[in-house]
Amino acid sequence: MPNQGNLEGLEPIEEIDAAGLIPTPRTTETGLRINIRGRSIRLRRLRRPPKGLLRWLLILGPGLIATSAGNDAGGIATYSSAGAKFGYQLIWVMVVLTLSFAIVQEMCARLGAATGRGLLDLIRERFGVGWTLFAVAIIVVANSGVTLSEFVGIGAASELLGVSRYISVPVCAVLLWYLVIFGSYAKVEKIFLLMTLVFFAYPIAAIMGKPDWSAVAEGAFIPRIQWNSEYIFLLVGVLGTTITPYIQIFQQSSTVERGAARRHYGDERVDAYVGSVFSNTMSVAMIIATAATLYVAGQNDITSAADAAKALEPVVGSAAKYLFAVGLLGASLLAGAVLPLATAYAVSEAFGVPKGVNLDFRRGRTFFTIFTALIVFGAAVALIPNVPIFPLLVGIQVLNGVLLPIILVFILLLINNERLTGDLKNTPIYNVLGWGTFALITTAVVVMLGGQILELLGIKLF
């Protein structure tokens, strides 16, 4: 019998019916050739998996994209307002939320890898139609508001650059629509990852703003709560813009579409953790940058993008508004694509219809119709004249904070269902941290809403 050669690490570049046949191999410069029934089939060597830094960079995907999308137009407005109004006092909240954020995102990635299904798909199966419609209503309301805020952010950024929003908003809407409708998931993911680079402007601004680092450390590690409505309102806004419902939905659904298998789940965990830490580091940098410039100067109220841009003046001086505009534009574009996608994933999963960027329009008609409708809605409303930009952006993040506990309950109940997740279910420490996050956010929301209701009744709580 002829020598079989070493077939390890080779794959055929075409498929043939070779049942019952013994190929005769011969070595070539590019690998191996086998002859079957007179046909010469070339085999090629499989690429070795990347190692070192390249491997870790390739791991990053849904986790980094989803969490970075949280630093969108609404996030920039909320964190900038927190720094300008309260200095470094809310940094401790971000320190606590970094752990909570990482835990929640990791649970969603793990749920996606364990089940191969999205969040709303699992809610429909485990809790029935009624709870599914309730969850869908919450997600559509929350995501529609945030989608609107992204296009408002695009308009604000373009006007800082001297371009009318009536030109930039429609153009960006069409570009985002084209990118998703005619792109594959792999290409879309790479473009989204490139967009995250805009956030590096903020750590530079935070350092060059020459903050009082002892005050920064005090704000980070000594919790202080001001019992007034402004502080509680912004606190809920910070919670809502950091752990936002659409981020969890996108994390899980894109993990599924990426094809992450439970046996390779370790990579997805790293992605979720790195994304959460990266995102919140950028958020803290925004607070420090605005605290070191606007708060110190007594400019406590941010009402426009131009006000927020002043935090970057230590980096580039008079060009601050242009650097801020580029960062705001990149952040808004990233979230402007992720938000409609997360909503399309959620609604499609809820009703059991095909979903995914890799589908064509014929097979994913409902998925792409929802995506398109949200793009059109966000762009159209953002073109309404005299929209109060920054108050609107912060208010939408507060709404997210109010709705977030409901989504967290579903996530925690599903991840602890052993029939769904098997050995990937929550450990006791994950449950303590997960339910602790739920309790923290719920308490803040109840205090805020309770205070506002009492004020309407003429009773001042704070």
Per-residue pLDDT of 48-75, as tens digits, reads: 544 444 444 444 555 566 566 666 677 7
Give the start-to-end residue ranges of the domains of the chain: 10-45, 56-456
Query: Which residue in 157, 207, 217, 213 sits closest to 314, CA to CA?
Result: 207
Tokens of 252: 């899980």
Tokens of 421: 């997740």
Torsion of CA 168, 73, 185, 125, to 10 degrees: -130
Instruction: Quote the pLDDT of residue 429.
Output: 93
* Type of residue at 381: V
Tell me the pTM.
Answer: 0.72
pLDDT higher than 70, residue 430 = yes
* Type of residue at 67: T
pLDDT higher than 50, residue 17 = no
Q: What's the length of the chain?
A: 462
Instruction: Report the CATH fold assignment for 56-456.
Output: Amino acid/polyamine transporter I (1.20.1740)
Instruction: Quote the pLDDT of residue 20.
Output: 42
pLDDT band at 200 (very low <50, low <70, confident <90, very high): confident
Per-residue pLDDT of 218-234, as tens digits, reads: 999 998 888 788 888 88
Q: Which of 190-194, 212-216, 273-277, 399-403 has the weakest average pLDDT?
A: 190-194
Q: How far apart are CA 380 and CA 383, in angstroms?
A: 5
pLDDT higher than 60, residue 43 = no
- Output 204 or 60, whichever has higher pLDDT: 204
pLDDT higher than 50, residue 118 = yes
Per-residue pLDDT of 322-344, as tens digits, reads: 777 777 787 788 778 778 888 88
pLDDT higher than 70, residue 149 = yes
Per-residue pLDDT of 378-402, as tens digits, reads: 899 888 887 666 677 777 778 778 8
N-to-C CA span, the chain = 90
Percent of the chain topping pLDDT 70? 72
Instruction: Quote the pLDDT of residue 193.
Output: 58
- DSSP, res 49: P
* Residue-averaged pLDDT of the chain: 76
pLDDT higher than 70, residue 4 = no
**Residues 82-104, buried b or exposed e (16+ Cβ, 10 A)?**
bbbbbbbbbbbbbebbbebbbbb
Q: Which of 27-41, 163-177, 201-215 has the weakest average pLDDT?
A: 27-41
Q: What angle do CA 398, 402, 403 make, to 5 degrees?
A: 120
Helix or strand (DSSP H, E) at 172: helix 165-181
pLDDT higher than 80, residue 441 = yes
Instruction: Quote the pLDDT of residue 262.
Output: 66
Q: Which residues contact 415 (CB under 8 A, 6 or more apart)?
A: 107, 110, 111, 421, 425, 426, 430, 434
Instruction: Quote the pLDDT of residue 305.
Output: 63
Tokens of 459: 């009773």
pLDDT higher than 90, residue 432 = yes
- Output 403 or 50, whichever has higher pLDDT: 403
- For residues 122-151, average pLDDT: 86
- DSSP, res 330: H
Q: Which residues contact 225 (CB under 8 A, 6 or more apart)?
A: 231, 235
Per-residue pLDDT of 84-95, as tens digits, reads: 889 999 999 999
Collapse the DSSP code of 435 into the 3-class scheme (helix H, G, I; strand E, B; otherwise coil) and give the result.
helix
Count the neighbouring beta carbons within 10 Å of the beta carbon of residue 146. Answer: 34
pLDDT band at 32 (very low <50, low <70, confident <90, very high): low
Instruction: Quote the pLDDT of residue 11.
Output: 44
pLDDT higher than 90, residue 367 = no
pLDDT higher than 70, residue 346 = yes
Instruction: Quote the pLDDT of residue 326.
Output: 76
Instruction: Quote the pLDDT of residue 48.
Output: 52
pLDDT band at 161 (very low <50, low <70, confident <90, very high): confident
Instruction: Quote the pLDDT of residue 194.
Output: 65
Instruction: Quote the pLDDT of residue 56.
Output: 43
* Ramachandran region, residue 120 (left: φ > 0; alpha: ψ -120 to 50; beta: rest): alpha
Each as own residue / partner, the long-range contacts of residues 228-233 (CB below 8 Å, 24 or more positions apart, any chain) are: 228/462, 229/448, 229/451, 229/452, 229/455, 229/462, 230/85, 231/86, 232/444, 232/447, 232/448, 232/451, 232/462, 233/398, 233/448
What are the CA-CA distances from residue 439 to residues 24, 88, 226, 408 (Å)?
67, 24, 19, 10
Q: How far apart are CA 80 and CA 291, in angstroms?
A: 8
Instruction: Quote the pLDDT of residue 260.
Output: 64
- Output 357 or 38, whichever has higher pLDDT: 357
What are the CA-CA distances from residue 193 to residues 18, 34, 226, 251, 318 (Å)?
43, 42, 37, 14, 29
Most confident among 8-17, 61-70, 280-289 (mean pLDDT): 280-289
Collapse the DSSP code of 38 into the 3-class scheme (helix H, G, I; strand E, B; otherwise coil) and give the result.
coil
Q: How far apart are CA 160 and CA 162, in angstroms?
A: 5
Count the neighbouring beta carbons within 10 Å of the beta carbon of residue 151. Answer: 28
Q: Give the CB-side neighbour count of residue 422, counting CA atoms within 13 A.
A: 8
Q: How far apart are CA 397 and CA 387, in angstroms?
A: 16
Instruction: Quote the pLDDT of residue 33.
Output: 55
pLDDT higher than 70, residue 128 = yes
- For residues 70-83, average pLDDT: 78
- For residues 269-278, average pLDDT: 81
pLDDT higher than 80, residue 6 = no
pLDDT higher than 90, residue 435 = yes
pLDDT higher than 50, residue 10 = no
pLDDT higher than 80, residue 358 = no
Beta bridge partners of 35: 24, 40
Q: Are 405 and 438 in contact (CB under 8 A)?
A: yes
Across the beta sheet with 24-28, the strand order is 10-12, 39-45, 31-36, 24-28
